[in-house]
Amino acid sequence: MNVEKAKKRIAKQVKKGFNGYPQISLEYFGKTPSCANEVIISFTLEEGAQPQEQKFLSKNDAREDETIQSTLVKIIERANANTVTEIEGISIMA
């Protein structure tokens, strides 16, 4: 799947808003506000449950990495997530 198609599919899920659990959250991290070298995807099965996290690293921008974006789409689909959230922008790594 190409990177633009994957990003559109993720954005479509995010736009749906909160629809209950299971919930997936995406957060991008980088050393600068313009390049995300890391993405953490969190899966929460039900309200109050401890989220499970998985981290993906990229030498370049993870938001433009076809492999990472395609993997995120597959995780969302396989988890049957009712809600997908994405933290806006890039969180700066210390």
Question: What's the pLDDT tens digit per position in 25-44?
Answer: 999 999 999 999 999 999 99
**Above 90 in pLDDT, residue 1?**
no
28 to 38, 68, 70, 76, 88: CA distances (angstroms): 6, 12, 15, 16, 8
Which residue, chain included where needed, has tokens 């953490």?
40
d(CA 42, CA 23): 8
pLDDT over threshold 80, residue 94: no
Percentage above 70 pLDDT, the chain: 100
Q: What is the pLDDT of residues 70-91, one digit of tens each?
A: 999 999 999 999 999 999 999 9
Task: Considering only CA atoms, give the Rg of the chain.
Answer: 13
